[in-house]
Amino acid sequence: MAAVVRNGNVCFAIFGKFRGFSQRFGAAACSRQCSTVTETTEEELWRQYHDTNQLAQQQKPLCKINPTSVFANNELCMGDVEVYGFDYDYTLAHYTDELYPLIYNLAKERLLMRNKYPESIMALEYIPGFAVRGLHYDIEKALLMKIDAFHHIQLGTVFRGHQQVSDAEVFSQYDGTHVPVDYMSSFHGRGKQMVQLMDMFSLSEMALLCDITEFFLKNGIEYDPEYLFYDVKNAVISVHLSGDMHKAVAEDMDRYLERGEEIAQLLRRLAGAGKKLFLITNSPFWFVQRGMEYIAGPSWMEMFDVVIAESRKPKFFTDTKRPFREVSKTSGTCKFERVTSLRKGQVYIQGNLQDFRQMTGWYGARVLYFGDHVYSDLADPFLKHGWRTGAIIPELEDEIKISNSTSYKDTISWLLALQGLIESQQSRHDEAVQAVVQEWMKEMRELRHYTKDIFNPQFGSLFRTHHNPTYFSRRLMRFADIYTSSVANLLHFPIDYTFYPRRSALPHEINYDS
């Protein structure tokens, strides 16, 4: 229920449907100046509570959000886009959940063989759904947590290993819940002690960090949290750089990679409409080649004007000196000639965006680039080069399905209505009234816990910390013009469609939906 101040009164509306609330239940329910009216009795407060609850259930929203839609943070006219760019992993290629235990187990083997971790860690198994991406990890304290858009830790989401850290300890460790910006890492995870784990592959890393921390704690093994973090981080990086993950995926495509008929259909549609297409990925070309043949067929390269592998993002967008190298599509060997143009049908590695722009003539808002990593894929193109950007968030569909559920909508409707009741009475100093308000606040906390746990028992939604957006959401809204669960969802819209952001009332504005 949104609270809107009109002429000094607070009018309550559940998703825009609580019109006339103040007239129905009287000024005592709706006025911020409730100390000036006749004192409300405890019985009247509870009657108001039950009447509001009944009205909330009657006025609950019936609409549902389409999980495969495209959502706009910023107005974007697709008719103005002439060039479409794509990342590969989790953008054109969507992996099955089998990939997470694969990375987890390969990294575990490295910890045993290279770092001489106890052999008994090999019995650890990946726990599906333990973490969500976008969480922060305190390297010094070995704590995994969720932080909101205002740098506050969401209480109840702080874990050391598998153990939830008490609110009292969180307050003690951080002098409250606020994490200063100087303590947090930069966009690309450089420096500082609080790092954000942003990409889909980090789910395996977070699980392994927490599992080994729990293993050490249960077995009384003393450890340095920083060494543990960097050991696990380097093990996961090695899984990628060694090519072991790529080889395992390539050997069993049906197990690890989803078919991409709609992806192929979208690429053909764009190319057929005269749009320019390019691919910039950090993955090796032989791996991309195998995957794209699986997804879009053997002639997939005919749809792309430029293909760049091993690009070293985010350095590709910031380094102005690393030259492009052409590689053989068949043998993968590098050619020695200097690259002065980017030709269709050829494959290039490394390079930098400055040369890319000069060789292609593709500048600014004519370019729309899609990627799954809000920082490495989208931040620099958006902030420094004026590209339009699209974020691919595979978790979005499941989150929307949960938010469409009757139980979730009923809970949110009542939570917002209850918050309005608390807001209307909290300035009263009558002891009996405050006792009722305290009971309401206790129920509100229980409702908030439910709306967290329904998404993930440990960390809740990827996008919300109770009423606030998450730190992840804040960055998503800042660096992505649009976002969706798959680029294939663009097929639901005309090629010249304009995506408009929802106009939401700012706290000081009138809510015209109410």
Please indicate whether residue 87 is annotated as part of the active site: yes
Binding residue per annotation — 231? no
Burial class from Cβ neighbours inside 10 Å (0-12, 13-18, 19+) for residue 408 reads: middle
89 is in an annotated binding site: yes
Residue 230 to residue 134: CA distance in whole angstroms: 18
Contacts of 305 (CB under 8 A, 6+ apart): 276, 277, 278, 344, 360
Q: Which residues pair with 309 in a beta bridge?
A: 349
Torsion of CA 140, 181, 470, 160, to 10 degrees: 10
From start to end of 121-266, where are the E strands? 135-138, 143-145, 159-160, 163-164, 194-197
Tokens of 31: 């006025």
CA 109 – CA 98 distance, rounded (Å)? 17
- Determine contact, residues 209/227, Cβ cutoff 8 Å: no
DSSP H or E stretch at residue 498? strand 498-499
Active-site choice (51, 80, 87, 410): 87
Helix (H, G, I), strand (E, B) or coil at 4: strand
- What does the chain come to in residues? 514
Q: Measured in whole angstroms, how far is the alpha carbon of residue 434 from the centre of its chain?
A: 39
CA 434 – CA 428 distance, rounded (Å): 7
Q: Which amino acid is at 264?
A: A
Provide the 10 A C-beta neighbour count for residue 373: 24
If one counts every other C-beta atom within 10 angstroms of the C-beta of residue 328, the result is 12
Q: Tell me which residue of 207, 241, 212, 238 sits closest to 227, measured CA to CA.
A: 212
**CB burial class (10 A; 0-12, 13-18, 19+) of residue 105?**
middle
Which one of 80, 89, 380, 481 is the catalytic residue? 89
Q: Quick one: 188 exposed, middle or buried, by C-beta within 10 A (0-12, 13-18, 19+)?
A: middle
> Is 389 strand, coil or helix?
strand
The C-alpha atoms of residue 442 and residue 411 are separated, in whole angstroms, by 15
Query: Residue 161, Cα to own-chain centre: how many angstroms?
Result: 22
CA distances in angstroms from 289 to 237, 330, 372, 412, listed in the order given: 22, 10, 19, 46
Is the CB of residue 4 less than 8 Å from the CB of residue 19?
Answer: no
CA dist list (Å): 234 to 180, 195, 354: 27, 15, 30
Vertex 481 angle, CA 478 and 487, to 5°: 125
Tokens at residue 189, please? 């995870």
For 400, the token pair is 């929307």
Is 355 a residue of the active site?
no
Q: Is 87 annotated as a binding residue?
A: yes
Catalytic residue numbers? 87, 89
Give the residue numbers of the binding site for GMP: 89
Give the residue numbers of the binding site: 87, 89, 372
